[in-house]
């Protein structure tokens, strides 16, 4: 029996092509999604091993949630890891004294830099950062090996990672520019280094440690602390330590650390594992998205297989009848079909695994092309491959099971009969589906109501309490699940009415073919509905996201059109900070009526607590020249002028503040203690002077005693100490102190502008009292032109003014809109790619369903042809059938997707989705496209139907 | 006959341009021969295993007559009908319907021929299952986009006795009713000739008589030309003329034979399977195969 099955499988291989493709696609998505995830994880792990390559890390002991400190705390790995309290930088001395350590120093990293190549163009990356890392011969970065040149010294030199050098076209000795926070600086390339793993597109610069420290200190509120101190052990002569060695070194360091330092040493492996998993979790969202499409592909695949096997079984029924009549058991006949399914599943899965691998490689290659080289392995692991194989086989078996059963148990005579057995009624299934749909719709109505009524849906306390308890996320998800499953279950019951309604137009335009097509759909409701379901899910996802994207865009445009009064906005592309020089240059441009600079105030506490949002200082002109206030209560303009707080509505609601409330605003700033610093430097000088005086006394004695050798040695020592004292790093003596400022401020106004909803705004005078120059960075500037100015020429002058700063961009109102718009467009691009995928899968499904339908209707089509139906009419009939299926699925998807979009928009209106915008054009396009999809899908089955000679079709044998 | 509305004329003209409606309409001075085969040969298979289904057949089917083609299985009677109707292409020789050479037609011309000149009644599976009886009857006209002659429709429906069954689907009709719907459909388009392939083969004798009676009536009352292939001597006895085929040749040509005459032909030759219609072909087929 198995031999017959295998032989049949070989004979039917051509017929299996479509099933194999479907299975391969589904498995490819599964394997690809796992593979992509694994590749990213591998990449992250590799980068961690390279970029956080110390053997031991000393970090804080207490977990903190002060992540929004704004200290731009970026470790050498480029991963923010300020989950622990910072440790004092002067612990390096203590750690250095521990035996077995290489010289210890804090590795300072500077983010938000821009490298400008020789031609004056910034070296751009695909969203990856440009990082400067302090390194020197005394304090090297072990994972980096110089391929040319050497370490940079002084702030006029940089070393480049080979990727950065290649991108910028720079080699050792070339001159380039680096844009620091305070402006661009000319530098010479001192060397080029390589790292073992690719850096995922990051541009990495090696800086002199002093330079790195200088710019790192500028960004942090407390230069005397750092997130972690990395320690290299010297046990292996410069090679990384083993885990045990790391362990013992960490123990030794811990023993040396003072108890009050709040510091703790962990092994490098532990540190890396922690950082790796947190980064990997952040990337985890990609996989479920791909898996949804894998599920669609496999769902379609399983019924393509069911259809294919139904056809094969019907055609082979005489053969099975013969087998049965010579004594084969039903089980054996079943086996011959299942063996074919296994062969099919195995081939499809194997192809799919290869395809998935290829897809991952392709993505990696695409990323590399776009400037994000990855060195993570794209090869699927054995587990991934086995998962793919198992999924593929399972889907095939599920698909083949029913036809195989039919082959085994159907009486042969019935199987030879052309008439299709009437379908089981779909009413009960329809009722279950409808119930699910109602449930889902109710869940969505509920949260829509919550959103519309501002969180108080009914006024009945118990129900309102329930609303608050569930929140919006759960009902949204449950509703979506109910509706999607509900529609799929309900589908067959909808096919009949849908055929009538959707078939109305074709039935009136093409009288006969249209009517025949519409009625044919209702003959196999389940099959028609399943075919449409593939398109339904894909279109639902895409149209839902389409509504959200379109609403986001419309909301931004709305803000700009109605609220923004400024003519230009100025932003910085790097770390968000606008260099002082650029700010000054802009202020100097002619034709500007007013400049508003928003300076962020980090770490402000209100009544002793942080708020969920940001605090910034602005000029009095903010509400007259930048955004018109949408005051919920109070006069925002007067409040700002009067030194009161202007609070965003969300924060006010959160804290229960009303206009007139008095709030204690406090900041803690670490400032340089000038006196202590001067004293420390003085102490050092005094020490040196005393030592030199002592040595000079010795020298005099030695000279007197004619001890020539000893005297020469002492003289050299004096010389050396003097030199050291002159070259000493002055920053060693910086002493800081914490300055606490506290003010009682009245809430002057609560505003509802969407851009400021999570902001607290103070005026400059209050801001300067609360913050320091170092911590208050200008993040955004808004310019209003003088009346009558030619905006175009003013824009040109502004751009000219900021050109030397490279990273500062001047945006006019349209640019400002499109910065948001282009982000949305990128999201849409991905959506369209997904849509294209689901369309391809859906076409397979429709082609297959039609092919089965045509094979069932061979005689009927022959009859139609015999009584004068033209070839074109047969094609038309099948085209209309396919188009109705496609439009049916698309319509269902659009209804559910748009409804989801509307509900989600209403729920998250406060997060930048004030305006509902349904992209009607897009929806129309989807519908038109679906008609096209149907027509395209019908071409091949129609050709197949027409190839059949009329005589064969109507012949009685 | 026929509505000569402006539209009808225009459409008729359009068809002329397509080259099918070349012959005159059925009129008093029409050619007395409605369909004709000249030196028709049809072989199957390759040189090693050549089967000659039709062996240089020359035959004329006369207008306004019912002609029955009889013969044992494998005698070529079905092949003859298929070639005459343009369902099968002859190996050599020519076939004319209304003076148009069917054997030289393109697919497009064949489609038009089927729409305007030829009606079909098959042994089974005559109706489109998704359409009601009425829709099935009107289907040929609708496919062609021709105006529907309601008076003619009512007359036909009355003759076949389906007035109360028009809205039923084929699955709700008995076999005899289904065959009567098929007859009505064939008549509706008023084709030059109706080809009926064992129209009573699947029916009980009473239903078979009804169908044959209707066909007879069409010939008598409306001058319809019908060519019918059958095994059944009783069915053949309804015909004006009976052709007997054997081994791809016409061996007998009987004019208005009685049932007994037909039986005699077979008695002298072979056992016709005198079973009363139903199941006759099976018995006969087995016989023919046994002889072969």
Across the interface, whether the CB atoms of B111 and A954 are under 8 A apart is answered: no
* Reported confidence tier of residue B226, pLDDT bands at 50, 70, 90: very high
Beta strands in chain B (DSSP E): 33-44, 51-62, 66-70, 92-97, 100-101, 118-121, 193-197, 225-229, 241-246, 249-255
Across the interface, whether the CB atoms of A871 and B112 are under 8 A apart is answered: no
Q: Are A699 and A772 in a shared domain?
A: no
Q: Please report the pLDDT score of residue A12 as a whole number.
A: 67
3-state secondary structure A277-342: HHHHHHHCCHHHHHHHHHHHHHHHHHHHHHHHHHHHHHHCHHHHHHHHHCCCCHHHHHHHHHHHHH
Question: In sequence order, what are the residues at sequence separation of 6 or more whose Cβ sits closer than 8 angstroms to the Cβ of residue A588?
Answer: A801
Q: Are A2 and A74 in a shared domain?
A: no
Final residue in a domain of this structure, among A760, A782, A806: A806
Q: Min CA distance, B140 vs chain A (Å)?
A: 6
* Angle B98-B101-B106 from CA coordinates, rounded to 5°: 120
Q: Which of A211-220, A279-288, A416-425, A702-711 has the highest mean pLDDT?
A: A702-711
Count Cα atoms within 13 angstroms, Cβ side, for A927. Answer: 12
Q: Is A363 on the interface with B (CB under 8 A)?
A: no
3-class DSSP state of B88? coil
Element (H, E) at A886: helix A871-907
Shortest CA distance to A374 belongs to which of A119, A116, A47?
A47
Pairing of strands A144-149, A114-116: unpaired
Residues of A in contact with B285 (CB under 8 A): none
Q: Are A748 and A722 in a shared domain?
A: no
List the domain range (segments joined by +) for residue A909: 492-565+814-957
Q: Are A58 and A48 in a shared domain?
A: no
Q: Please report the pLDDT score of residue A612 as a whole number.
A: 74
- Residue that is written with structure tokens 């606008």 in the block: A578
Q: What are the pLDDT digits (tens) for A408-460?
A: 876 655 544 444 455 667 788 888 888 988 988 888 888 777 777 665 666 66
Closest residue in chain A to residue B110, using alpha carbons only: A868
pLDDT of residue A255 exceeding 60, the answer is yes
Q: How many CB atoms lie within 10 A of CB A835?
A: 21
Query: With contact defined as beta carbons under 8 Å apart, do A15 and A312 qualify?
Result: yes
Across the interface, whether the CB atoms of B142 and A419 are under 8 A apart is answered: no
Plot region of A578 (φ>0 → left; ψ -120 to 50 → alpha; else → beta):
beta
Q: Are A634 and A747 in a shared domain?
A: yes
Query: What would the mean pLDDT of A831-852 be, rounded to a whole number?
Result: 78
Number of residues that make up chain A = 957
Beta strands in A787-853 (DSSP E): 808-812
Q: Please report the pLDDT score of residue A894 as a whole number.
A: 92
2-61 of B, contacting A, C-beta below 8 A: none
Query: What CA–CA distance (Å, rounded) separates A793 from A71?
Result: 38
Q: For residue A254, tell me if it sits in a domain.
A: no
Q: Are A639 and A539 in a shared domain?
A: no
Task: Please say whether the dihedral angle defined by the alpha carbons of residues A71, A73, A79 and A80, taken in this order, is positive or negative.
Answer: negative
Cα first-last separation, chain A: 28
Closest residue in chain A to residue B82, using alpha carbons only: A951
pLDDT of residue B3 exceeding 80, the answer is no
B216 Cα distance to chain centroid: 13
Q: What is the dihedral of CA A268, A274, A279, A284, to 10 degrees?
A: 140
Q: For residue A142, tell me if it sits in a domain.
A: yes
**Which candidate from B82, B119, B130 shows the least CB-CB separation from A951?**
B82
**DSSP label of A348:** H
**Which candidate from B120, B130, B189 shows the least CB-CB separation from A523?**
B130
Final residue in a domain of this structure, among A387, A417, A447: A417
Q: Is A691 on the interface with B (CB under 8 A)?
A: no
What are the domain boundaries of chain B?
A: 31-291
* Reported confidence tier of residue B29, pLDDT bands at 50, 70, 90: low
What does residue A616 show for φ and ψ, rounded to 5 degrees? Answer: -140, 160
Residue scoring higher pLDDT (A276 or A934) = A934
**Which candidate from A870, A873, A954 shows the least CB-CB separation from B122?**
A954
Task: Please say whether the dihedral angle defined by the alpha carbons of residues B27, B33, B37 and B38, taken in this order, is positive or negative.
Answer: negative
Average pLDDT of every residue of chain B: 78
3-class DSSP state of A738? strand
Query: With contact defined as beta carbons under 8 Å apart, do A602 and A760 qualify?
Result: no
Count Cα atoms within 13 angstroms, Cβ side, for A888. Answer: 35
- To the nearest whole percent, how much of chain A has pLDDT over 90? 1
3-class DSSP state of B111? helix
Q: Are A724 and A746 in a shared domain?
A: no
The per-residue b/e assignment along A620-640, b for 16 or more CB within 10 angstroms, e otherwise, is bbbbbbbbbbbbbbbbbbebb
3-class DSSP state of A838? helix
pLDDT of residue B6 exceeding 50, the answer is no
Residue scoring higher pLDDT (B181 or A177) = B181
**Which candidate from A866, A871, A956 shows the least CB-CB separation from B107?**
A871
pLDDT of residue B245 exceeding 80, the answer is yes
Q: Min CA distance, B189 vs chain A (Å)?
A: 10
**Cα→Cα distances A149→A50, A153, A207, Å:** 21, 12, 14
Q: Which of A126-130, A323-327, A348-352 has the highest mean pLDDT?
A: A348-352
Query: What would the mean pLDDT of A322-341 be, rounded to a whole number?
Result: 79
Lowest mean pLDDT among A154-168, A575-589, B80-94, B271-285: B271-285
Shortest CA distance to A444 belongs to which of A918, A899, A908?
A899
Q: Are A896 and A755 in a shared domain?
A: no
Across the interface, whether the CB atoms of B129 and A511 are under 8 A apart is answered: no
Closest residue in chain B to residue A858, using alpha carbons only: B125
pLDDT of residue A739 exceeding 70, the answer is yes
Residues of A in contact with B120 (CB under 8 A): 866-867, 954
* Reported confidence tier of residue A895, pLDDT bands at 50, 70, 90: very high
135-154 of B, contacting A, C-beta below 8 A: 135, 139-140, 142-145
Q: For residue A921, tell me if it sits in a domain.
A: yes
Query: What CA–CA distance (Å, rounded) separates A680 from A568?
Result: 48
Q: Are A28 and A88 in a shared domain?
A: no
Q: Are A405 and A322 in a shared domain?
A: yes
3-class DSSP state of A145? strand
Query: What would the mean pLDDT of A301-313 be, rounded to a whole number?
Result: 76
Q: Please report the pLDDT score of residue A71 as a whole number.
A: 35
**Cα→Cα distances B5→A293, A632, B28, B153, Å:** 58, 76, 22, 18
Q: Per the structure, how many domains does chain A have? A: 5
Instruction: Tell me the fold of B31-291.
Output: Rossmann fold (3.40.50)
Q: Please report the pLDDT score of residue B290 as a whole number.
A: 36
pLDDT of residue B2 exceeding 70, the answer is no
Question: In sequence order, what are the residues at sequence separation of 6 or more whose Cβ sits closer than 8 angstroms to the Cβ of residue A92?
Answer: A104, A105, A106, A229
pLDDT of residue A659 exceeding 70, the answer is yes
Query: With contact defined as beta carbons under 8 Å apart, do A249 and A101 qualify?
Result: yes
Q: What are the pLDDT digits (tens) for A490-512?
A: 888 888 888 888 888 877 777 77
Q: Min CA distance, B258 vs chain A (Å)?
A: 29
Q: Please report the pLDDT score of residue A69 as a whole number.
A: 37
Query: With contact defined as beta carbons under 8 Å apart, do A349 and A389 qualify?
Result: yes
Question: In sequence order, what are the residues at sequence separation of 6 or more whose Cβ sits closer than 8 angstroms to the Cβ of residue B28?
Answer: none
Residue scoring higher pLDDT (A286 or A765) = A765
Residues of A in contact with B131 (CB under 8 A): 515-516, 519
**DSSP label of B273:** -
508-527 of A, contacting B, C-beta below 8 A: 511-512, 515-516, 519-520, 522-523
Query: What would the mean pLDDT of A506-524 be, rounded to a whole number?
Result: 79
Q: Are A411 and A397 in a shared domain?
A: yes
Q: Is A421 on the interface with B (CB under 8 A)?
A: no
pLDDT of residue A31 exceeding 60, the answer is yes
- To the nearest whole percent, how much of chain A has pLDDT over 70? 86
244-273 of B, contacting A, C-beta below 8 A: none
Query: What CA–CA distance (Å, rounded) separates A291 from A32?
Result: 9
Residues of A in contact with B130 (CB under 8 A): 516, 519-520, 522-523
Q: Please report the pLDDT score of residue A707 as a whole number.
A: 83
Q: What is the dihedral of CA A95, A101, A105, A107, to 10 degrees?
A: -120
Query: With contact defined as beta carbons under 8 Å apart, do A527 and A849 qualify?
Result: yes
Q: Are A752 and A638 in a shared domain?
A: yes
* Reported confidence tier of residue A462, pLDDT bands at 50, 70, 90: low
Q: Is B222 on the interface with A (CB under 8 A)?
A: no
Question: In sequence order, what are the residues at sequence separation of 6 or more whose Cβ sits closer than 8 angstroms to the Cβ of residue A904?
Answer: A476, A544, A547, A548, A913
Pairing of strands A777-785, B92-97: unpaired
Query: What CA–CA distance (Å, rounded) separates B191 from B222?
Result: 11
Query: What CA–CA distance (Å, rounded) separates A586 from A571?
Result: 12
Residues of B in contact with A952 (CB under 8 A): none
A440 is written with which tokens?
A: 């889902």
By 3-state DSSP, what share of chain B in percent is helix, strand and coil, each rounded to 5? 45, 20, 35
Q: For residue A627, tell me if it sits in a domain.
A: yes
* Reported confidence tier of residue B235, pLDDT bands at 50, 70, 90: confident
Q: Please report the pLDDT score of residue B12 as a whole number.
A: 43
Query: What would the mean pLDDT of A243-254 be, rounded to a whole number?
Result: 85
Q: Please report the pLDDT score of residue A552 as a whole number.
A: 82
Average pLDDT of every residue of chain A: 79
A279 is written with which tokens?
A: 């980064």
pTM to 2 decimal places: 0.69
Q: Pick from B129, B141, B172 the residue to mutate for testing the A interface (most A CBs within 10 Å).
A: B129
Q: For residue A141, tell me if it sits in a domain.
A: yes
Q: Please report the pLDDT score of residue A472 as a whole number.
A: 66
pLDDT of residue B241 exceeding 80, the answer is yes
Q: How many CB atoms lie within 10 A of CB B224?
A: 25
């Amino acid at each position: 029996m198995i031999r017959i099955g295998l032989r049949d499988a070989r004979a039917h291989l051509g017929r299996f092509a479509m099933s194999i493709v479907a299975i391969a696609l589904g498995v490819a998505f599964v394997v690809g999604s796992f593979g992509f995830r694994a590749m990213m994880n591998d990449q992250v792990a590799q980068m961690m091993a390279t970029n956080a390559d110390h053997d031991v890390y000393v970090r804080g002991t207490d977990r903190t949630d002060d992540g929004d400190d704004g200290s731009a705390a970026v470790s050498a790995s480029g991963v923010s890891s300020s989950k622990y309290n910072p440790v004092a930088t002067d612990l390096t001395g203590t750690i250095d004294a521990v035996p077995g350590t290489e010289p210890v120093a804090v590795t300072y990293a500077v983010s938000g830099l821009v490298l400008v190549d020789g031609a004056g163009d910034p070296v751009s990356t695909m969203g990856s950062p440009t990082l400067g890392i302090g390194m020197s011969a005394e304090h090297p970065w072990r994972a980096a090996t110089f391929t040319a040149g050497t370490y940079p010294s002084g702030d006029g030199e940089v070393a480049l990672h080979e990727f950065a050098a290649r991108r910028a076209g720079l080699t050792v000795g070339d001159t380039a520019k680096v844009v620091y926070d305070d402006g661009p600086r000319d530098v010479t390339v001192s060397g080029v280094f390589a790292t073992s793993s690719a850096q995922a597109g990051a541009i990495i610069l090696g800086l002199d440690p002093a330079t790195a420290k200088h710019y790192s200190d500028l960004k942090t509120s407390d230069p005397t602390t750092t997130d972690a101190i990395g320690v290299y052990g010297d046990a292996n002569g410069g090679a990384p330590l083993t885990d045990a060695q790391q362990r013992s070194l960490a123990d030794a360091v811990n023993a040396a650390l003072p108890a009050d330092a709040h510091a703790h040493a962990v092994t490098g492996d532990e540190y890396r594992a922690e950082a790796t998993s947190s980064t990997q979790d952040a990337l985890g969202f990609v996989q479920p998205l791909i898996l949804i499409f894998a599920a669609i592909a496999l769902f379609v695949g399983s019924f393509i297989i069911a259809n294919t096997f139904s056809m094969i079984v019907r055609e082979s029924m005489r053969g099975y009848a013969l087998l049965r009549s010579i004594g084969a058991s039903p089980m054996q006949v079943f086996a011959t079909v299942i063996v074919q399914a296994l062969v099919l599943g195995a081939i499809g899965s194997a192809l799919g695994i290869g395809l998935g691998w290829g897809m991952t490689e392709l993505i990696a290659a695409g990323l590399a092309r776009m400037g994000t080289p990855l060195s993570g392995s794209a090869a699927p692991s054995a587990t991934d491959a086995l998962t793919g194989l198992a999924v593929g086989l399972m889907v095939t078996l599920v698909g083949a099971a029913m036809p195989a059963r039919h082959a085994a148990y159907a009486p042969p005579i019935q199987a030879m009969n052309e008439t299709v057995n009437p379908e089981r009624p779909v009413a009960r299934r329809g009722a279950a589906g409808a119930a699910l749909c109602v449930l889902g719709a109710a869940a969505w109505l509920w949260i829509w109501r919550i959103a519309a009524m501002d969180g108080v849906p009914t006024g009945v306390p118990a129900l309102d309490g329930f609303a608050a308890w569930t929140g919006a996320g759960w009902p949204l998800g449950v509703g979506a699940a109910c509706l999607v499953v509900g529609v799929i279950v309900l589908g067959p019951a909808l096919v009949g009415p849908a055929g009538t309604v959707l078939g109305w137009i074709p039935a009136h335009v093409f009288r006969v073919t249209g009517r025949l097509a519409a009625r044919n759909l209702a003959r196999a409701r389940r099959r028609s509905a399943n075919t449409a379901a593939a398109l339904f899910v894909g279109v639902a996802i895409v149209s839902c996201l389409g509504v959200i994207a379109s609403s986001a865009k419309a909301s931004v445009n709305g803000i700009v059109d109605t609220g923004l009064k400024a003519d230009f906005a100025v932003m910085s592309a790097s770390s968000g900070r606008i260099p002082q020089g650029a700010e000054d240059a802009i202020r100097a441009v002619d034709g500007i009526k007013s400049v508003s600079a928003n300076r962020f105030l980090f770490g402000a506490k209100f009544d002793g607590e942080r708020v969920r949002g940001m605090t910034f200082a602005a000029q009095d002109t903010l509400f007259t020249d930048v955004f018109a206030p949408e005051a919920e209560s109070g006069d925002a303009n007067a409040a700002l002028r009067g030194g009161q707080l202007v609070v965003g509505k969300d924060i006010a609601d959160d804290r229960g503040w009303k206009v007139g409330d008095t709030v204690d605003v406090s900041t803690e700033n670490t400032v340089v203690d000038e006196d202590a610093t001067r004293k420390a430097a003085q102490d050092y000088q005094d020490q040196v002077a005393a030592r030199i005086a002592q040595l000079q006394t010795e020298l005099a004695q030695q000279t007197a005693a004619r001890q020539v050798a000893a005297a020469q040695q002492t003289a050299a020592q004096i010389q050396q100490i003097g030199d050291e004292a002159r070259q000493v790093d002055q920053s060693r003596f910086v002493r800081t102190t914490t300055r606490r400022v506290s003010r009682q401020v009245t809430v002057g106004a609560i505003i509802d502008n969407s851009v400021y909803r999570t902001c607290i705004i103070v005026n400059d005078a209050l801001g300067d009292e609360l913050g320091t120059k170092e911590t208050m960075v200008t993040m955004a500037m808004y310019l209003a032109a003088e009346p009558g100015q030619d905006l175009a020429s003013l824009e040109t002058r502004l751009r000219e003014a900021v050109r030397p700063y490279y990273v500062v961009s001047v945006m006019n109102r349209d640019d400002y809109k499109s910065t948001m718009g282009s982000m949305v467009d990128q999201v849409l691009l991905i959506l369209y790619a997904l849509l294209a995928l689901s369309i391809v899968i859906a076409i397979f499904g429709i082609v297959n369903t039609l092919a089965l339908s045509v094979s069932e209707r061979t005689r009927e089509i022959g009859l139609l042809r015999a009584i004068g139906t033209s070839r074109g009419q047969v094609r038309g009939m099948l085209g209309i059938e396919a188009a109705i299926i496609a439009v049916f699925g698309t319509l269902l998807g659009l209804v559910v997707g748009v409804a989801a979009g509307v509900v989600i928009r209403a729920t998250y209106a406060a997060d930048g989705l004030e305006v509902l915008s349904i992209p009607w054009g897009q929806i129309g396009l989807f519908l038109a496209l679906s008609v096209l999809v149907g027509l395209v899908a019908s071409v091949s089955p129609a050709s197949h139907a027409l190839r059949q000679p009329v005589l064969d079709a109507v012949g009685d044998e | 006959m026929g509505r000569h509305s402006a539209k009808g004329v225009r459409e008729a003209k359009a068809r002329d341009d397509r080259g099918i409606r070349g012959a005159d309409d059925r009129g008093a001075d029409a050619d007395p021969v409605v369909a004709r085969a000249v030196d028709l040969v049809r072989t199957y298979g390759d040189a090693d295993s050549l089967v000659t289904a039709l062996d240089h057949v020359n035959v004329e089917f006369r207008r306004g007559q019912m002609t029955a083609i009889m013969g044992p299985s494998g005698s070529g009677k079905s092949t003859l009908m298929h070639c005459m109707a343009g369902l099968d292409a002859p190996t050599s020789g020519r076939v004319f319907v209304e003076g148009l050479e069917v054997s030289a037609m393109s697919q497009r011309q064949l489609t038009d021929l089927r729409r305007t000149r030829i009606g079909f009644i098959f042994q089974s599976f005559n109706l489109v299952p998704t359409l009601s009886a009425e829709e099935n009857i009107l289907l040929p006209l609708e496919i062609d986009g021709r105006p529907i002659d309601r008076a003619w429709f009512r007359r036909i429906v009355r003759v076949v006795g389906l007035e109360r069954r028009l809205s039923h689907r084929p699955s709700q009709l008995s076999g005899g009713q289904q065959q009567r719907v098929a007859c009505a459909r064939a008549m509706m388009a008023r084709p030059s000739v109706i080809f009926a392939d064992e129209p009573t083969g699947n029916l009980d004798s009473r239903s078979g008589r009804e169908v044959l009676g209707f066909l007879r009536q069409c010939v008598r009352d409306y001058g319809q030309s019908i060519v019918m292939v059958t095994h059944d001597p009783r069915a053949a006895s309804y015909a004006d003329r009976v052709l007997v085929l054997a081994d791809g040749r016409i061996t007998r040509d009987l004019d208005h034979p009685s049932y007994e005459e037909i039986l005699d032909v077979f008695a002298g030759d072979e056992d016709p399977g005198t079973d009363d219609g139903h199941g006759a072909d099976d018995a006969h087929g087995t016989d023919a195969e046994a002889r072969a």
